[in-house]
């Protein structure tokens, strides 16, 4: 008979629904858990040992497999997977990175090349073992705190007892959820000396050192904190007049990426290089053969390499570590200080453990000597039970317990019963006394080291420097001051040409059928003045609109303090005639500036470009009017003050103007002026002295301009 389904009341259904968690709530909780996991277990190193979890598991696995011989990296990866919950790819990448730093892993085979960027061979072809430095500094099971592995089958270290600022020596980079870490590598010897300075209570200021060398500007390093920035340049040498050699490359680049950036800059016309050769092997050597056009100025080519290629890179550090289970931002000097005191604490624990072991050894050696010399073992012959044996031995030791440094336990007595007859028969009292004497000396030494822990730690660091410091000298050169700023516009070669269509108002390097203006680079800004008194500055392009009736166009230099613009304009359709001299400095690209008073139908009557010391002189010829006798107003720009572009200028005349012409009287030769006839020709009724006047040539620096008066 089928069971009847239990009916659920509507109230109970409603009660069940209220216990459901909304999707938004699940996302919030799960995302926080995921972010915490990525930060703590994958991307950010721990301050205690300077390692990410995958690196720690690799080193622990290699220590577990250590027998003095090389192991296949594939076997190391397989053994590490007992501890690491992710795939073999992450382990393989991590072990290659550790091996290439040449500090903890002794490599054999093709492990790639940090200079060229070549990848390592497959893990089944390369081998590795721990270095002597790693065995001395990184491992000590007695001071290691252990935890269960992810599957509960094995034990792994929470952190390794590293007695060295490993994090700062190797450097590390990682990206987590909402958090990033980038700690740059520092010099091995300088870190040890810095630790010694910390113990001596001296101020430290450690700076990065890169395996690829280069020249670095650390003026804005900011101790590795967020907001800091360093610049690293390649080391470029001149082999001869036509050849440059790159001997060292910036951190984060490879010879291939550097060459690609050079070829890209060459293709864009930023510099001229005839040929590039990569002769890199054990050391970097990139040979640049210069183009004949640029061989004469190799210094400018070097500056162009720094400005337009990866021969100069900027690096932004971000020192973030896990401290007490939380991510924190610390300066590299604070990290060094923490690491130094952590090393001191580890050495203290090692000394305390060693002292405890020596005391135990001394205790049993003394106990054994008493047990054998006083023949207490013979009293065991009459005992019939194990309890009787223990009591008999304890009773026999009672008169001598005052000679010992701690109480005799049952475990001690059991160890005495395990001494073999052969050892008892060959017991040498003199050797036993010498052994106890030696133990006393060792205990005294350990106690002295504990009493002078700071000096002991300093001596430890000095021994490290003496033993492993050779060949680890600084490779990256430190500049005395900040790098000299290289302006791209000043080092780029003229790689294009500027053309203009004055009537339509277009200019650019694509208008090859129109009027040629000058040679320039594709980084230059162009300044243009139109006939309606407008000005605009814009980056050169293939075709760009600057305004119709262009009177003057040229390459613009915002730092130019010598160029002066001289202008006479009409304010509106029938307004006053104004004169002004001005300079142009700070501008906004592609913004149209009005150089007049802003009234509609304003018109430029005269425009010229000179330097500060050159002053043009012009005649403003007025339209004939009744009772107007003087029809020529002479304007000497030397009497007009140089102001900024927004100045409206001074009034020349209020009468209508027939023509403006430059006279031959100027203090210095003046560039070609742009002049315009702005009114219809006068009638035959005008005065004969004007109508019959012959045209006179105007002398300028470039050529003569013929000014004609039409009747």
Q: Which residue has the higher pLDDT, 688 or 568?
A: 568
Alpha-carbon span 151 to 85, nearest angstrom: 9
Over its C-alpha atoms, the chain yields an Rg (Å, rounded) of 43
Does the structure show a pLDDT above 90 at 174? Answer: no
Contact 521, 489 (CB under 8 A): yes
Contact 312, 250 (CB under 8 A): yes
Alpha-carbon span 134 to 157, nearest angstrom: 16
Residue 125 falls in the annotated catalytic set: yes
Q: Residue 186: beta bridge partners?
A: 208
Instruction: Give the best-scoring range by mean pLDDT among 400-409, 458-467, 569-578, 619-628.
Output: 458-467
Which of helix, strand or coil describes residue 327?
Answer: strand
Residue 216 has a pLDDT of 94
Give the angle 176-187-231 at the CA atoms, nearest 5°.
Answer: 65
Listed range (95-99, 135-139, 635-639) with the worst mean pLDDT: 635-639
Mean pLDDT of 356-366: 93
Residue 276 corresponds to which tokens in the numbers above? Answer: 């590039």
Does the structure show a pLDDT above 60 at 168? Answer: yes
Instruction: Give the best-scoring range by mean pLDDT among 187-196, 477-486, 514-523.
Output: 187-196
Where helices occur in 498-633 by DSSP H, the ranges are none
Mean pLDDT of 375-394: 87
Residue 663 has a pLDDT of 82
Residue 28 has a pLDDT of 65
β-strands 215-217, 477-478 pairing = parallel
Does the structure show a pLDDT above 70 at 608? Answer: yes
Q: What backbone torsions phi and psi does residue 177 show, to the nearest 5 degrees?
A: -85, 110
Q: For residue range 74-83, list pLDDT tens digits in order.
A: 999 999 999 9
CATH class of 230-315: alpha beta
Which of helix, strand or coil describes residue 137?
Answer: helix
- Give residue for tokens 């001394």: 362
Does the structure show a pLDDT above 60 at 6? Answer: no
Does the structure show a pLDDT above 70 at 441? Answer: yes
Task: Tell me the CA distances in angstroms from 399 to 369, 375, 383, 391, 436, one per residue in order.
Answer: 14, 13, 20, 14, 20
Neighbours of 604 (CB within 10 A): 24
Does the structure show a pLDDT above 50 at 691? Answer: no
Q: For residue range 347-357, list pLDDT tens digits in order.
A: 999 999 999 99
289-298 in b/e form (b: 16+ CB < 10 A) is ebeeebbeeb
Does the structure show a pLDDT above 70 at 236? Answer: yes
Q: What backbone torsions phi and psi does residue 574 show, to the nearest 5 degrees?
A: -135, 25
321-341 in b/e form (b: 16+ CB < 10 A) is bbeeeebeebbbbbbbbbbbe
Please tell me the pTM assigned to this model: 0.73
Where helices occur in 126-254 by DSSP H, the ranges are 132-137, 166-170, 188-199
If you write DSSP's letter for every residue of 695-706 in order, what string do you get?
P-EEP-SS--EE
Q: Mean pLDDT for the chain?
A: 85
Alpha-carbon span 448 to 12, nearest angstrom: 75
Listed range (15-29, 39-53, 510-524, 574-588) with the worst mean pLDDT: 15-29
247-284 in b/e form (b: 16+ CB < 10 A) is ebbbbebbbebbbebbeebbeeebbbbeebebebeeeb
Which among 479, 473, 485, 475 has a CA at the least distance from the CA of 248? 475
Mean pLDDT of 558-578: 89
Q: What backbone torsions phi and psi does residue 501 show, to the nearest 5 degrees?
A: -110, 95
CATH class of 23-199: alpha beta
Which among 307, 217, 214, 230 has a CA at the least distance from the CA of 268? 307
Q: What percent of the chain has pLDDT over 90?
A: 50
Residue 703 has a pLDDT of 34
Which of helix, strand or coil describes residue 358?
Answer: helix
Residue 699 has a pLDDT of 37
Alpha-carbon span 443 to 445, nearest angstrom: 5
Contact 626, 687 (CB under 8 A): no
Q: Choose the catalytic residue: 37, 46, 70, 125.
A: 125
Residue 671 corresponds to which tokens in the numbers above? Answer: 């560039």
Mean pLDDT of 436-451: 94
Residue 209 has a pLDDT of 95
Please tell me what DSSP assigns to residue 483: P
Q: For residue range 191-219, list pLDDT tens digits in order.
A: 999 999 999 999 999 999 999 999 999 99
* 321 alpha carbon, distance to own chain's centre: 18
Residue 180 has a pLDDT of 85
Domain locations along the chain: 23-199, 230-315, 488-706
* 279 alpha carbon, distance to own chain's centre: 27
Does the structure show a pLDDT above 70 at 434? Answer: yes
Q: Which residue has the higher pLDDT, 181 or 680?
A: 181
Strand order in the sheet with 230-233: 312-315, 230-233, 215-217, 477-478
Alpha-carbon span 505 to 493, nearest angstrom: 27
Q: Residue 642: CB partners within 8 Å, gap ≥ 6? A: 564, 581, 582, 583, 612
CA dihedral 419, 420, 425, 426 (to 10 degrees): -80
What's the pLDDT band for 670 if we cut at 50, 70, 90?
Answer: very low
What's the pLDDT band for 282 if we cut at 50, 70, 90?
Answer: confident
Alpha-carbon span 693 to 709, nearest angstrom: 8
Q: For residue range 17-73, list pLDDT tens digits in order.
A: 455 666 666 666 666 676 776 777 778 899 999 999 999 999 999 999 999 999 999
Residue 493 has a pLDDT of 66
Does the structure show a pLDDT above 50 at 683? Answer: no
Contact 627, 657 (CB under 8 A): no
């Amino acid at each position: 008979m089928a069971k009847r389904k239990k009916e659920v009341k509507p109230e109970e259904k409603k009660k069940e629904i209220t216990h459901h968690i909304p999707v938004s709530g699940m996302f919030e909780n799960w995302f926080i858990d995921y972010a915490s996991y990525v930060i703590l277990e994958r991307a950010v190193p721990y301050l205690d040992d300077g390692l990410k979890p995958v690196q720690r598991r690799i080193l622990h696995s290699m220590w577990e497999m250590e027998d003095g011989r090389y192991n296949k990296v594939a076997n190391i990866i397989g053994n590490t997977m007992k501890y690491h919950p992710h795939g073999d790819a992450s382990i393989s990448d991590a072990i290659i990175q550790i091996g290439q730093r040449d500090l903890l892993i002794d490599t054999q085979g093709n492990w790639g090349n940090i200079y060229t960027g070549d990848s390592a061979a497959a893990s089944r072809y390369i081998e590795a073992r721990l270095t002597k430095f790693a065995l001395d500094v990184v491992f000590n099971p007695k001071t290691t705190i252990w935890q269960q592995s992810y599957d509960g089958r094995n034990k792994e270290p929470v952190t390794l007892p590293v007695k060295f600022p490993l994090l700062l020596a190797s450097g590390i980079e990682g990206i987590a959820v909402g958090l990033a870490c980038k700690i740059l590598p520092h010099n091995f010897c300088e870190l040890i000396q810095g630790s010694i300075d910390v113990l001596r209570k001296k101020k430290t200021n450690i700076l990065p050192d890169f395996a690829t060398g280069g020249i670095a500007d650390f003026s804005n390093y900011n101790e590795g904190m967020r907001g800091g920035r360093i610049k690293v340049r390649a080391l470029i040498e001149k082999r001869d007049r036509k050849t440059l050699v790159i001997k060292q490359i910036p951190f984060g680049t490879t010879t291939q990426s550097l060459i690609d950036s050079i070829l890209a800059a060459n293709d864009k016309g930023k510099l001229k290089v005839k040929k590039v050769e990569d002769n890199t092997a054990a050391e970097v050597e990139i040979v640049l053969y210069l183009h004949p056009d640029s061989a004469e100025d190799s210094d400018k080519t070097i500056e162009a390499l720094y400005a337009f290629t990866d021969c100069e890179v900027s690096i932004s550090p971000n020192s973030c570590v896990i401290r007490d289970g939380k991510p924190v931002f610390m300066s590299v000097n604070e990290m060094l200080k923490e690491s130094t005191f952590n090393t001191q604490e580890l050495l203290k624990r090692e000394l305390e453990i060693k002292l405890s072991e020596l005391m135990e050894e001394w205790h049993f050696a003394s106990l054994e000597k008493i047990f054998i010399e006083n023949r207490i073992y013979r009293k065991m012959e009459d005992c019939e039970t194990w309890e009787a044996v223990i009591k008999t031995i304890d009773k026999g030791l009672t008169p001598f317990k005052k000679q010992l440094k701690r109480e005799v336990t049952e475990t001690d007595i059991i160890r005495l019963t395990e001494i073999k007859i052969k050892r008892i028969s060959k017991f040498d009292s003199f050797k036993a006394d010498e052994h106890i004497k030696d133990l006393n000396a060792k205990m005294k030494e350990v106690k002295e080291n504990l009493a002078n822990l700071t000096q002991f730690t300093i001596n430890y660091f000095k021994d490290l420097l003496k033993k492993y410091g050779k060949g680890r000298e600084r490779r990256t050169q430190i500049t005395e001051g900040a790098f000299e700023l290289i302006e791209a516009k000043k080092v780029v070669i003229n790689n294009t040409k500027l053309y203009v269509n004055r009537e339509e108002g277009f200019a650019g390097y694509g208008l090859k059928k129109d009027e040629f203006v000058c040679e320039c680079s594709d980084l230059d800004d162009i300044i243009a003045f139109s006939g309606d008194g407008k000005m605009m500055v814009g980056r050169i392009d293939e075709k760009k609109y600057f305004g119709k009736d262009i009177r003057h166009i040229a390459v613009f230099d915002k730092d130019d303090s010598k160029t002066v613009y001289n202008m006479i304009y009409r304010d509106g359709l029938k307004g006053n005639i104004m004169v002004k001299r001005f300079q142009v400095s700070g501008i906004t690209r592609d913004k149209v500036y009005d150089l007049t008073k802003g009234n509609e139908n304003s018109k430029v009557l005269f425009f010229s470009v000179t330097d500060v010391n050159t002053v043009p002189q012009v005649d403003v010829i007025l339209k004939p009017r009744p009772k107007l006798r003087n029809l020529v107003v002479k304007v000497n720009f030397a009497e007009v003050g140089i102001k900024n572009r927004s100045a409206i200028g001074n009034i020349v005349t209020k009468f209508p103007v027939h023509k403006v012409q430059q006279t031959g009287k100027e203090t210095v030769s003046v560039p070609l002026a742009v002049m315009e006839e702005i009114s219809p020709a006068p009638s035959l009724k005008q005065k004969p002295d004007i109508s019959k006047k012959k045209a006179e040539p105007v002398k300028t620096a470039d050529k003569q301009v013929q000014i004609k008066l039409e009747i």
